[in-house]
Amino acid sequence: MLAACGGGDSAPSPTPTPTPPPAATAPRFTSATSASVVENRADNFYTVSASDPQGDAISLAISGGVDADKFVLGTDGGLRFNTPPNFDLPIDANGDNIYEVTLRGSAGGETAFLNFVVTVTNDREGIAVRRVISGLGETVAMDAMRSDLLVADRSGRVLVVNPATGAIAEDPFIRDNRRPGEILALAFGFPGMPYQEGIYIVTHSPTDGLWLQGFDPTQGRSLQIRLGDPWAERVTVSLVAQRELYIAIGDRSGSNAQNSASPYGKLYRVSEYCHYCYAAGPRPARLVGEPRLWGDGIQMPGGFSREADYLHLTDRGSTAFHELTRFRRDWQPLDFGWPFYEGSSALSANPPAIVNGPSIVYRLGNGRAEGTGITAGLINDGNFFKQLGQSYVFGDTRGAVFAVDRNRLSDGRLHGASVIENRTKDFAPDVGTLDTVLAFAQGGGSDHFFILDGDGEIFRVEGQS
């Protein structure tokens, strides 16, 4: 019938004898083409197996694949990572935690290949995060005051929050005695010092300007120091108490950051007031002395981290990099580089001769180790919170939590995304979400700490055995 359909223009050819398929002689892989492994696994996670039709001995090898150098194949066919994989800092070629390797089996002079992929999945690595406070509204800053937390909100309140009981109370002394204006930064300063201990805030008002205000509610004392004139741009300020107070004031446009006549773009240091300098007579009821200009070149501060005689200042970028810069508290002069540098990016010619370069930089963006604005975190020495080891844990305003080996902060080198772990999955809270990580604070014990979110949530981070 087929011949008839062809038109019948030739005699039917004899039915050809089918050629038998060639004898299968190459080895054949019998193990799966993919696997899934939880991070940190050091031992064999997969056994390569193959068979050979002739029963020849099969030799197995890693023959290629973009991630070939990340694997070790044992003589028994066991496959493992040469370094236990870290989900939070993947090292596969395209950084998606899917590692690709090609395996080769050879037997009797013939070979077969298996394109194998292994997916690394996350482990929380002992981190548990519980929401302890919600509904605070739009929050802007947080610091620990003994076992309580101090939180400033967008409406200008200073709240005393007990994270154990959930109690929230506005401090009435501050409410009744503060100058008006938006609260930009907050710190609990000089703990245990009878004349200086207090709650310090920096406020800005378009009519009243920029002020440092201190309050000792128990003694009914307060202090206001004018820092600068009103500023038309959005003002960002960070405040930290580390023996002295340090005030970092941003200058987004950069027009004043290197101009010592302007407070914008500057670092100030405020020491305790010298009450004992007056041998006789009444002691003035001041909490602190006059601010001293301590550094310049700041763009958009995102908080300080404390480390004994050192501080780390975060500075948010606007075109290229966010950065973290370490400095000793008594170093002078200090120049954080803005607007000549943003992170490791040189932006304009003729920079200052000496700039205090950053230890960590990362790019603006939404990639694994990118973000919208760095937020200063906590340095862990391994005694505090052993699950986090020797780490610096910090945040980003896009809702990310990052970590680096703390030794990277002090080795005198510049580090980037290749050392930054994205631990956001490890820090996922039980309830609510981390949306805008604004501050970290340690208070009420060394086995936990707190994270402030910009939408009025506070999360408690604790270890899990």
Please report, as ranges, the residues that interact with Ca ion according to CB under 5 A.
86-88, 92, 94, 96, 98, 122, 125, 426, 433, 435, 453, 455, 457
CB nearer to Ca ion: give 88 or 296.
88
- What are the φ/ψ torsions at residue 230 (nearest 5 degrees)? -55, 150
Q: Is the dihedral of CA 158, 292, 310, 400 positive or negative?
A: positive
CB nearer to Ca ion: give 97 or 238.
97
First to last CA, the chain: 78
* 380 and 390 Cβ atoms separated by less than 8 Å: yes
CB nearer to Ca ion: give 343 or 432.
432
Q: Could you tell me the CA-to-CA distances from 51 to 23, 26, 248, 261, 443 in Å, in that order?
A: 15, 9, 68, 80, 61
Residue with tokens 């929230």: 168
CB nearer to Ca ion: give 126 or 416.
126
The helix (run of H) or strand (run of E) holding residue 168 is strand 168-170
Minimum distance between the CB of residue 398 and Ca ion, rounded to whole angstroms? 12
CB nearer to Ca ion: give 139 or 222.
139
- Name the β-bridge partners of 226: 211
CB nearer to Ca ion: give 56 or 455.
455
Minimum distance between the CB of residue 100 and Ca ion, rounded to whole angstroms? 6
CB nearer to Ca ion: give 247 or 438.
438
Q: Give CA torsion, residues 283, 329, 437, 168, to 10 deg.
A: -20
Q: Is the dihedral of CA 85, 90, 94, 97 positive or negative?
A: positive
* 241 and 293 Cβ atoms separated by less than 8 Å: no
Minimum distance between the CB of residue 119 and Ca ion, rounded to whole angstroms? 9
Return d(Cα 90, Cα 406) in angstroms, integer: 19
Minimum distance between the CB of residue 126 and Ca ion, rounded to whole angstroms? 9
Minimum distance between the CB of residue 96 and Ca ion, rounded to whole angstroms? 4
Burial class (CB in 10 A: 0-12, 13-18, 19+), 45: middle
Minimum distance between the CB of residue 295 and Ca ion, rounded to whole angstroms? 33
Minimum distance between the CB of residue 403 and Ca ion, rounded to whole angstroms? 9
Minimum distance between the CB of residue 124 and Ca ion, rounded to whole angstroms? 6
Which of these, 68, 47, 51, lies nearest to 115 by C-alpha position?
68
Strands (E), 231-359: 237-242, 244-249, 266-270, 292-296, 301-307, 310-315, 321-328, 341-342, 345-346
CB nearer to Ca ion: give 92 or 315.
92
